[in-house]
Chains A and B, each alone.
Chain A
Amino acid sequence: MPEEEIQAVEQEVSYDPLTDLLALVEDIKVEDDSDKDPYENLSVEETLSQRIIDGNKTNINTDLQQALDGGHKPLDIINKFLMDGMKIVGERFGAGEMQLPFVLQSATTMKTAVSYLEQFMDKLEASTNKGTVVLATVKGDVHDIGKNLVDIILSNNGYKVHNLGIKIPVEEIIRAVEEFKPNLIALSGLLVKSTLIMKQNLEVLNERGIDLPIILGGAALTRRFVEQDCANTYNGYVYYGYDAFTDLDIMERIHSGKSFEEIKEEFYKTKAKESEGDSPYQEVGESDEDEYAPLLDYTEKLSETKVLTSSEIPELPFYGDRLIGPEEIDLDEMWQYLNLDAMIIGQWRMGKGKKTQEEYDKLLKEEIYPTLERLKKETRANPWLKPKIVYGYYHCKIDPEHPNKLNLFSEDKEEIIDSFTFPRQNSGEHLCLSDYFRTEDDAFNLVGFQLVTIGVEAAEFVQSLYNSGDFAEYLYYYGLATESTEALAEYSHARIRKELGYQAEDNKDDIKKLLRGGYHGMRYSFGYPACPRLEDQEKLFTLFKPERIGMKLSEEWQIHPEHSTSAIIIHHPDAKYYNVKVK
């Protein structure tokens, strides 16, 4: 419409799209937007299941309330909708499609939901539980996390769990069984030794007339050992706990009224294909007493050992021991030695699983590494771990009478102050740790030791996370604590190598290789095959008095606090890891 005309004639708008649009508003269906609801297309029931799968507890109360308003009973919501989600979580976890921290987020969501629903249950409902379990890590074993996972999964799915703790003697288990009258006992342990303790415990339970079904779980166990050796020993039913969801699976079957025999048949059948063969941990795991004891005095075929006599004995940096406190240890320097694979795959259980490399890389980049950085940052700001080291050097010589025995000498080299005897392989290279101390002309050699801990504060901190119900954080920090302990041992060993003048041989450019022994000499922890006698640590405690840094030795020669480790340091260039087993 040309302007000049507007002046000539009066214009009236006959069509204005804006007016028409505004009139149309009521007819337009647009999904509400402001903040998206990821569950907008799902029913409230489906939403609740999906929230468990996603581990999304934000505003879950609204959905729960909606379900309640819709006429569902609190218990039905738990047993149907929430458990449906949990089952899928279990399946995905079992199939390696979902990683542990995400599982724990699901468990935390479950816990949040259940505690909201509790207020709507009458007393009877609230007190009813689907079943009761007595749970413990067996005597002599300090490993907490696997057991706690079982606790988390079961107690967040409506079961009452009496978590007795770690290093639990069988008498205490029996007392708990009498007091709590559980449907089932679940025992955990990581050490190879623990598998034997479990078997012994089963014998004691037989004697006391207890025949409750038992689940045995832990890395050193194998399905064959549980379903044959243990099952044959015990008068009741024994199940192999493949993972924490196995316990849930079995409890669900008991809850649904299945007989133990039925469960056994179903369970052995459906799960039999998994986890055949030996646990990968067994080979590198801690040594079994019975296997090496005869080898302490075994000295045949000494001539077959190929260990070269040490031609160069480094200068003793100092005699005796030294203490390094937390103020001298830079956390980042220590963390240089963090074994990322062990932490991410071993502790955090965030292995590649069935993901493609691309998906896994994405996970690493977007979830895992940022999480690690966040943990480190938070730890720097609020150091819950207090690394401490005692270490030192002694003059030493192989006992002239006993080639497996290493004598430690006083500073003036006049007196023998202690000695260590190591087992010798009766096959292969016939190696014994003492061989690495051979010298020319009967000269004195030197040996190093170290005891390290990240302090009792670490365990307390991690426990507080567990208690607060933030299970994913618990897992992350527990893993960081465990691997920080190893990193501290590595850090301490690096310091020793520097003092001995071998620092240049460190494979600095490749931390993975360094952690696999890419340096001069070797470090052996007590309890592992080459020096399997945990009781030898008593001698270390006498020599180094690590009580000064808060370490204690238990009756079973386990070091407390949990996050501690000890080792003998050998400077021989050919020193390596080897297994000792009766062949």
Chain B
Amino acid sequence: MKPSLVELAKEKVLIYDGAMGTTLFTYDLTAEDYGGKDLEGCPENLNKTKPEMIQEIHSRFFEAGSDIVETNSFGSSRLVLGEYGLEDESYDISKLAANLAKEVADKFTAKEPEKPRYVAGSIGPGTKLPSLGNVSFDELKESYKPQVAGLIDGGVDVILIETCQDPLQIKAVLAAAFEVFQDIEEKFKDKSDEELLAAYPAAVFLQDSEKRAGLSSRIKFPLQVQITIEQMGTMLVGSDAFSALTTISAYPVDAFGMNCATGPKEMQEHLQSISESSPFMLSCLPNAGIPENVCGHAHFPLKPDEFAEYMDKFVRKYNIRLVGGCCGTNYEHISKLAAAVNKINEEKLVFDPLKNLKEVEDSVSSIYSSVFMDMETKPLIVGERTNANGSKKFRELLAAEDYEAITELAKEQVEEGAQILDLCAAYVGRDEARDMKEIISKVNTSVNIPIMVDSTEAPVIEESLKLISGKAVINSVNLEDGEERVELIASLCNKYGAALVALTIDEDGMAKTAEKKVAIAKRLYDLLVNKHGMSPQDIIFDTLTFTLGSGDEEFRKAGIETIEAIRQIKAELPHVKTILGVSNISFGLDARLRPALNSVFMHEAVKAGLDMAIVNNKKILPMHKIDENLKKLCLDLVYDRREYKSVKHA
């Protein structure tokens, strides 16, 4: 049996093929070739009408030196085929495309067992951008399911989600893929591993540590994601490479890279930014330069030698493991590329997946950019004014359904220094799911900071996640209703790639002492990380606090307990983050006192290890701006430094 593609790529650089689309153009195809006038321009239908031609192209790329060819299935999703009235053939055409490529690959492998050949199931971006509301997440996911299933049933070695222009589209394909994996798992639930493997040689059995709640628990198939960075330096919807990587880093994929839009030269700066922190193997399949329009035809200026030269440099510099060509690259480009790569493989460059992972794993993202949650200057500010619990103005706007003004309010918070946007539409008597959908569909593209979905309702959370293009944070989960709920929310985080705020609340209610807070945090950690497969970097503990303003003896030590809990959690649970709704500490106090007390308390919490604060940043004062006497009183209140004198009774 040939080694798995992912394992082999760790040992040597593997070579993809060149362009299918632009190669097809060289055949001067007629409407008849496509299967009639109505199908003209539908390359996927050529799998049916011209299978020998598709196989010839695969063969010639293998001959040129490719290890992997892509199936002719770029547009075989339901939605894209639907443009030709072929939507119901999505599964069949995808499977046929995989069969055709596999047949050729197997022939070559039989001939040259020392150079096994592979097939990547190509999944293109389709024609609609979910982030812009062109298509719903669910519709898109359903459109991809038969494509993924057909490709896997047809025997591909890796699912290649390529030419991605919108991170939300990637999420939809991944959601489709996870469901297909679960379907296969279900089909084989009474069968042995051997039987499953016989049917699906590319299936990978999961280790316990790889299992994630909400996703298939027995197998997965290799997944490779490639984004397309336009000449303007971002994906079509505006995401930069690093934020797309951040978004995808929350998912169990195997390789991440770039293809299309530009030649290698223009990809360099983005490769640099990805390669420095990607937890995945890196792939790179550029065009043969930026196409120029010559006499009405696209002309790709980069010659095979130049192309290979760039790629040689990139493989060495950025440790790329999967290389190939996109539009305009032909057999000769691949042949020159193979010559260069073969030389590199003789030098045995090893893949080092543990390089500089910290930043991307500790980040969350919006559609446009990512935010590092473990910065030097703490805390990270989570804007709290778009919250029905905290802001009267927000409640009024919600009641008036003025979603435009809510978006403005969100933008204002960015200007005021918020780095993550907390959104909470839970308001008695209103449809929370609908309000969240309305707000997020606007805020997702008009605010450039990551979104924190502040809701405890699983359906609201799920509908929200279907609209968010970046890596979001869910706020929150707790143990008040037991452990099942934790699994449910963790499943959503896993399925949609989100981080999670966990509150120190259990069946007994909100923890008041540091000891209890830490105990609950540990219990949640064990459930979320060890049982449900979440990454510790994505867990943010909220140790909660109570007001010091009431003077109530029971809560006099609330500040101390909260700060101590933060200190212990940071010391005992590596990689997790902490968060706090700071202004609770001063609830009920005169508005003139609150900013000073909030600021002093936050300052102390940060010293203990607080990473993020949910505050109105405008009302946080720097320590030096607070009057000394006022500061001292606040500190004394936080640490309960009351003084007593003894009065002796006679």
Residues from chain A with Cβ under 8 Å of B301 in the complex: none
B40 adjacent to chain A (CB < 8 Å): yes
Residues from chain B with Cβ under 8 Å of A299 in the complex: none
A33 adjacent to chain B (CB < 8 Å): yes
With beta carbons under 8 angstroms apart, the residue of B40, B549, B589, B643 that contacts A503 is B40
Contact across chains for A377 and B133 when beta carbons are under 8 A apart? yes
Residues from chain A with Cβ under 8 Å of B392 in the complex: 34
- Smallest CB-CB separation from B446: which chain A residue? A370
Q: With A10-B649, A12-B644 in contact, is A18–B40 under 8 Å at CB?
A: no
B551 adjacent to chain A (CB < 8 Å): yes
Q: A21 CA to B551 CA in the complex, in Å?
A: 12
Contact across chains for A373 and B133 when beta carbons are under 8 A apart? yes
Q: A30 CA to B392 CA in the complex, in Å?
A: 20
B647 adjacent to chain A (CB < 8 Å): yes
Beta-carbon contacts under 8 Å, B22-39 to A? 29, 31, 34, 37
The proximity string for B residues 588-609 relative to A, scoring 1 for CB distances below 8 Å and 0 otherwise, is 0111110111000000000000
Q: A92 CA to B172 CA in the complex, in Å?
A: 44
Q: With A25-B593, A332-B134, A366-B448 in contact, is A33–B637 under 8 Å at CB?
A: no
A28 adjacent to chain B (CB < 8 Å): yes
A24 adjacent to chain B (CB < 8 Å): yes
Contact across chains for A28 and B618 when beta carbons are under 8 A apart? no
- Smallest CB-CB separation from A35: which chain B residue? B393
Residues from chain B with Cβ under 8 Å of A370 in the complex: 442, 445-446
The proximity string for B residues 602-623 relative to A, scoring 1 for CB distances below 8 Å and 0 otherwise, is 0000000000000010110000
- Smallest CB-CB separation from A9: which chain B residue? B646
The proximity string for B residues 624-639 relative to A, scoring 1 for CB distances below 8 Å and 0 otherwise, is 0001011011111100
Residues from chain A with Cβ under 8 Å of B646 in the complex: 5, 9-12
Beta-carbon contacts under 8 Å, B514-571 to A? 548-549, 551
With beta carbons under 8 angstroms apart, the residue of A9, A29, A361 that contacts B232 is A361
Contact across chains for A366 and B296 when beta carbons are under 8 A apart? no
Contact across chains for B368 and A17 when beta carbons are under 8 A apart? no
With beta carbons under 8 angstroms apart, the residue of A29, A377, A505 that contacts B296 is A505
Closest Cβ–Cβ distance, residue B358 to chain A (whole Å):
27
Closest Cβ–Cβ distance, residue B418 to chain A (whole Å):
13
Q: With A17-B634, A518-B293 in contact, is A11–B647 under 8 Å at CB?
A: yes
Residues from chain B with Cβ under 8 Å of A362 in the complex: 448
Counting chain B residues whose Cβ lies within 8 A of the other chain, the interface size class is 35 or more
B51 adjacent to chain A (CB < 8 Å): no
Contact across chains for B633 and A24 when beta carbons are under 8 A apart? yes
Q: With A14-B643, A18-B551 in contact, is A373–B448 under 8 Å at CB?
A: no
Residues from chain A with Cβ under 8 Å of B191 in the complex: none
Beta-carbon contacts under 8 Å, A171-189 to B? none
Contact across chains for A28 and B592 when beta carbons are under 8 A apart? yes
- Smallest CB-CB separation from A34: which chain B residue? B392
B41 adjacent to chain A (CB < 8 Å): yes
A42 adjacent to chain B (CB < 8 Å): no
Q: A13 CA to B392 CA in the complex, in Å?
A: 38
A72 adjacent to chain B (CB < 8 Å): no
Q: With A504-B40, A518-B296 in contact, is A366–B411 under 8 Å at CB?
A: yes
With beta carbons under 8 angstroms apart, the residue of A5, A20, A507, A520 that contacts B298 is A507
Residues from chain B with Cβ under 8 Å of A21 in the complex: 589, 593, 597, 630, 633-634, 637
Contact across chains for B590 and A25 when beta carbons are under 8 A apart? yes
Counting chain A residues whose Cβ lies within 8 A of the other chain, the interface size class is 35 or more
A16 adjacent to chain B (CB < 8 Å): yes
Residues from chain A with Cβ under 8 Å of B447 in the complex: 366
Q: A361 CA to B642 CA in the complex, in Å?
A: 55
Residues from chain A with Cβ under 8 Å of B643 in the complex: 13-15
Q: From A10, A24, A362, name the one whose CB has the most chain B CB atoms within 10 angstroms.
A: A24
Contact across chains for A9 and B592 when beta carbons are under 8 A apart? no
A513 adjacent to chain B (CB < 8 Å): yes
Q: A34 CA to B445 CA in the complex, in Å?
A: 27
With beta carbons under 8 angstroms apart, the residue of A25, A369, A513 that contacts B445 is A369
With beta carbons under 8 angstroms apart, the residue of A30, A369, A508, A520 that contacts B591 is A30
B645 adjacent to chain A (CB < 8 Å): yes
Closest Cβ–Cβ distance, residue A40 to chain B (whole Å):
11
Q: A73 CA to B613 CA in the complex, in Å?
A: 48
Q: A5 CA to B590 CA in the complex, in Å?
A: 35
With beta carbons under 8 angstroms apart, the residue of A10, A17, A373, A503 that contacts B633 is A17
Q: A18 CA to B559 CA in the complex, in Å?
A: 13
Q: From A10, A17, A362, name the one whose CB has the most chain B CB atoms within 10 angstroms.
A: A17
Closest Cβ–Cβ distance, residue B622 to chain A (whole Å):
14
Q: A22 CA to B549 CA in the complex, in Å?
A: 9
Q: With A21-B634, A33-B619, A369-B132 in contact, is A10–B592 under 8 Å at CB?
A: no
Consensus secondary structure, chain B interface: mixed
Contact across chains for A9 and B647 when beta carbons are under 8 A apart? yes
Contact across chains for A28 and B647 when beta carbons are under 8 A apart? no
Q: With A28-B596, A504-B40 in contact, is A20–B633 under 8 Å at CB?
A: yes
Residues from chain A with Cβ under 8 Å of B647 in the complex: 9-12
Closest Cβ–Cβ distance, residue B633 to chain A (whole Å):
5
B238 adjacent to chain A (CB < 8 Å): yes
Residues from chain B with Cβ under 8 Å of A332 in the complex: 134
Contact across chains for B446 and A366 when beta carbons are under 8 A apart? yes
Q: A17 CA to B629 CA in the complex, in Å?
A: 11
The proximity string for B residues 223-253 relative to A, scoring 1 for CB distances below 8 Å and 0 otherwise, is 0000000001010001000000000000000
The proximity string for A residues 498-517 relative to B, scoring 1 for CB distances below 8 Å and 0 otherwise, is 00010111111000010001
Q: A58 CA to B630 CA in the complex, in Å?
A: 37
Q: A35 CA to B234 CA in the complex, in Å?
A: 36
With beta carbons under 8 angstroms apart, the residue of B296, B368, B592 that contacts A365 is B368
Closest Cβ–Cβ distance, residue B240 to chain A (whole Å):
11
A124 adjacent to chain B (CB < 8 Å): no
With beta carbons under 8 angstroms apart, the residue of B132, B368, B641 that contacts A373 is B132
Q: A109 CA to B31 CA in the complex, in Å?
A: 58
Residues from chain A with Cβ under 8 Å of B590 in the complex: 22, 25
Q: From A9, A18, A377, A506, name the one whose CB has the most chain B CB atoms within 10 angstroms.
A: A18
Closest Cβ–Cβ distance, residue B166 to chain A (whole Å):
13
Contact across chains for A365 and B445 when beta carbons are under 8 A apart? yes
Residues from chain A with Cβ under 8 Å of B343 in the complex: none
- Smallest CB-CB separation from A20: which chain B residue? B633
Q: A132 CA to B357 CA in the complex, in Å?
A: 69
- Smallest CB-CB separation from B632: which chain A residue? A17
Q: A508 CA to B42 CA in the complex, in Å?
A: 12
Q: A508 CA to B412 CA in the complex, in Å?
A: 39
B648 adjacent to chain A (CB < 8 Å): yes
Contact across chains for A17 and B296 when beta carbons are under 8 A apart? no
A1 adjacent to chain B (CB < 8 Å): yes
- Smallest CB-CB separation from A506: which chain B residue? B41
Closest Cβ–Cβ distance, residue A22 to chain B (whole Å):
7
Q: A366 CA to B634 CA in the complex, in Å?
A: 41
A208 adjacent to chain B (CB < 8 Å): no
With beta carbons under 8 angstroms apart, the residue of A1, A14, A28 that contacts B593 is A28
Q: A507 CA to B635 CA in the complex, in Å?
A: 68
Contact across chains for B630 and A13 when beta carbons are under 8 A apart? no
Closest Cβ–Cβ distance, residue A224 to chain B (whole Å):
35
A36 adjacent to chain B (CB < 8 Å): yes
CB within 8 Å of A: which residues of B?
29, 31, 34, 37, 40-41, 132-134, 232, 234, 238, 293, 296, 298, 368, 392-393, 411-412, 442, 445-448, 548-549, 551, 589-593, 595-597, 616, 618-619, 627, 629-630, 632-637, 641-649
Q: Considering the complex of A and B, which 7 residue pairs feature the smallest CB-CB distances, nearest first? A: A17-B636, A15-B643, A17-B637, A9-B646, A28-B592, A14-B645, A30-B592
Query: Contacts A22-B590, A369-B132, A573-B296 given; 11 further ones with Cβ under 8 A?
Result: A9-B648, A15-B636, A15-B643, A17-B637, A18-B549, A18-B637, A28-B592, A33-B595, A366-B448, A503-B40, A520-B296
Q: What are 29 inter-chain pairs, A to B, with CB distance below 8 A?
A: A9-B647, A9-B648, A10-B649, A11-B644, A11-B645, A12-B644, A12-B645, A14-B644, A15-B643, A17-B633, A17-B636, A17-B637, A17-B641, A17-B642, A22-B593, A24-B633, A29-B592, A33-B591, A33-B618, A33-B619, A34-B392, A365-B368, A365-B446, A373-B133, A373-B445, A501-B37, A508-B41, A520-B296, A573-B296
